[in-house]
Amino acid sequence: MQAASDPALEQAVREIGRELHAALPSRPRHPVRALDDKAMELASRDAELRAALFRLVDVTPACRSLDDLAGHLAGYLEEVDGRSQSLDAAMRAARSAAGRRALGAAAATGVRHMAHRFIVGDSPQAALGVLRRLWDAGAASSVDLLGEATVTSAEADRYATRCHEALETLAAATRSWPEQPALEADSVGPLPRVNLSVKVSALTPLMRPEAPEVGREDAAGRMRPLLLRARELHAHLHIDMESLDALETTLDLVGELLEEDELRDGPSAGVVLQAYLRESPEQLERLLDWAGQSPRQPPLTVRLVKGAYWDHEVVEARQHGWKPPVFELKAESDRNFEQLTRRLLDARPAVRVAVASHNLRSVAHAIAYNRLAGGEDRDLELQVLRGLGDDLQHALADQGLRVRAYCPVGDLVAGMAYLVRRLLENTSNDSFLGEMGRGTPIEELLAAP
Ligand SMILES: Cc1cc2nc3c(=O)[nH]c(=O)nc-3n(C[C@H](O)[C@H](O)[C@H](O)COP(=O)(O)OP(=O)(O)OC[C@H]3O[C@@H](n4cnc5c(N)ncnc54)[C@H](O)[C@@H]3O)c2cc1C
């Protein structure tokens, strides 16, 4: 493995990063998207406005009328200091019944627009148009059925049924799609057109850190048939990673299931590694040991992310008086992400590698290291979230790189937790997208973390 400070690697990272950056703003923006960007930009500058926006998004599905929604909005805005003229005008409007209806309608439209930016349809069938347009634009997709933690067995059964239906719908529809050689094979072999991301916590109501085997067995009962059907349909099943309390259960469950005789030779499957976890280097070594001892064809895909539950992990640890399991400086997560990228790329073909990030530096580093190590571009997959990484996705696809967009599907209510996490990510001061939005010079953005 090359050292982090290798000058040739640094130079290649900057060149690739500049090229990608130059390709970003060339595409005209949809007017709704530009409005959303404005709202995000305002929210990222003002913590109180950000809190008001999140609370509004959170309460929207529960509001019974436009009047009710406008009342909530006015209440939240009241807490914002130094309101702009337009926010003051909104609050004045909320004083009359007609004004409240108009304001409520505007707020509901705004939340719906924001949701549609991240959520591609309320069912797999409804999402097919977007997925096909992505494919035609040179991007593969992974569908994620929204609906977070499951509380009853009936909910877990319903989620499993929705996953089965999604596999059938996607398999039937994608069969007739035109060939896209860059998206359909790497040097190991074919890559499935259908890719579904699933969450273990949605497959069982029994996930408890104090009795992991109970949740594992219950989830296995629903995941095994899913894996078997994915194998028959030549689909890929990716197991998302959630907060730390689910990590051991998730990795043990996947490891055990994929070692079963009927699942050894497929389907294509994957797990997620979170670089913000201090213990992620050890977790990766465990994964690689497993991949070495249980060679699979096709190999396990590892999606490397930084991790979406940073605030949750920090708050939870502080409540217990523990040291947080996550790095507390953003640069530490970024540095670890790069180190894990290099380790993963070096471990091929025992695993397939997917690097999921919107950070130009992190992405350019993966592309540069792969090339310098003699790897082919098609042996590195780059992944973005729909709505956050659209521009980057186009820039990567235009360069012939393999890119996949993670596409949440489901209704607004089920998508609320997802939506709030993405808003948090998009408006946080530390985030790469936040920095880029504030106009930080590209050379600074591409500097080694
Ligand atoms: C296709 C795709 C799939 C994903 N799947 C998952 C998944 O299964 N599970 C999951 O957890 N996440 C998942 N994510 C989300 C991912 O973990 C990140 O939250 C998101 O991509 C932002 O990281 P970035 O590299 O794009 O941006 P950056 O702005 O470079 O990084 C932001 C990230 O840095 C970390 N961070 C922020 N502040 C600090 C701090 N003070 N100290 C240390 N670290 C900090 C956090 O992880 C934060 O999300 C996925 C992302 C993508 C693109």
Please tell me whether residues 249 and 144 are part of one structural domain. Answer: yes
Please tell me whether residues 181 and 228 are part of one structural domain. Answer: yes
Range of the domain at 379: 120-411
Please tell me whether residues 228 and 261 are part of one structural domain. Answer: yes
Residue 72 identity (one-letter amino acid): H
Q: Hey, what are 224's tokens? A: 């095994």
Please tell me whether residues 262 and 338 are part of one structural domain. Answer: yes
pLDDT-wise least confident of 39-53, 57-71, 150-164? 39-53
Q: Quick one: pLDDT band at residue 37, thresholds 50, 70, 90?
A: low
Q: What is the mean pLDDT of the chain?
A: 90
> In angstroms, what is the span from residue 339 Cα to ligand 1's centroid?
16
Asked whether the predicted pLDDT for residue 413 surpasses 90, the reply is no
Show Cβ contacts of residue 261 under 8 Å, excluding neighbours closer than 6 positions. none
Please tell me whether residues 162 and 196 are part of one structural domain. Answer: yes
357 lines ligand 1 (CB under 6 A): yes
> In angstroms, what is the span from residue 306 Cα to ligand 1's centroid?
4
Ligand 1 nearest-atom number relative to CA 432: 29
Please tell me whether residues 106 and 129 are part of one structural domain. Answer: no
Indicate the burial class of 124 (C-beta count within 10 angstroms; 0-12, 13-18, 19 or more): buried
> In angstroms, what is the span from residue 308 Cα to ligand 1's centroid?
5
pLDDT in tens, 206-259: 988 788 899 999 999 999 999 999 999 999 999 999 999 999 999 999 999 999
Please tell me whether residues 232 and 372 are part of one structural domain. Answer: yes
Share of the chain above pLDDT 90, in %: 66
Q: Span 351-375, mean pLDDT? A: 97
The total number of structural domains in the chain stands at 2
Q: Is the separation of the CB atoms in 231 and 264 below 8 Å?
A: no
Q: Quick one: pLDDT band at residue 35, thresholds 50, 70, 90?
A: low
Show Cβ contacts of residue 92 under 8 Å, excluding neighbours closer than 6 positions. 99
431 lines ligand 1 (CB under 6 A): yes
Give domain status of residue 57, yes or no.
Answer: yes
pLDDT in tens, 115-132: 888 899 999 999 999 999
Q: What is the pLDDT of residue 73?
A: 82
Cα 155 to Cα 68: distance, rounded to the nearest angstrom: 29
Q: What is the pLDDT of residue 52?
A: 78
Please tell me whether residues 125 and 207 are part of one structural domain. Answer: yes
> In angstroms, what is the span from residue 361 Cα to ligand 1's centroid?
14
Parallel/antiparallel/unpaired status of strands 300-305 and 195-198: unpaired
Judged by phi (left if over 0) then psi (alpha if -120 to 50, else beta), residue 273 lies in beta
Q: Quick one: pLDDT band at residue 315, thresholds 50, 70, 90?
A: very high
Give domain status of residue 23, yes or no.
Answer: no
430 lines ligand 1 (CB under 6 A): yes
- Listed residue (67, 132, 73, 129) closest to 101, CA to CA: 67
Asked whether the predicted pLDDT for residue 204 surpasses 70, the reply is yes
DSSP state of 62: G
Q: What is the pLDDT of residue 28?
A: 47
pTM for this prediction: 0.92
Give domain status of residue 190, yes or no.
Answer: yes
Give domain status of residue 228, yes or no.
Answer: yes
Comparison of pLDDT for 330 and 106, the residue scoring more: 330
pLDDT in tens, 100-110: 888 888 887 87
Please tell me whether residues 50 and 172 are part of one structural domain. Answer: no
Cα 428 to Cα 435: distance, rounded to the nearest angstrom: 9
Asked whether the predicted pLDDT for residue 288 surpasses 60, the reply is yes
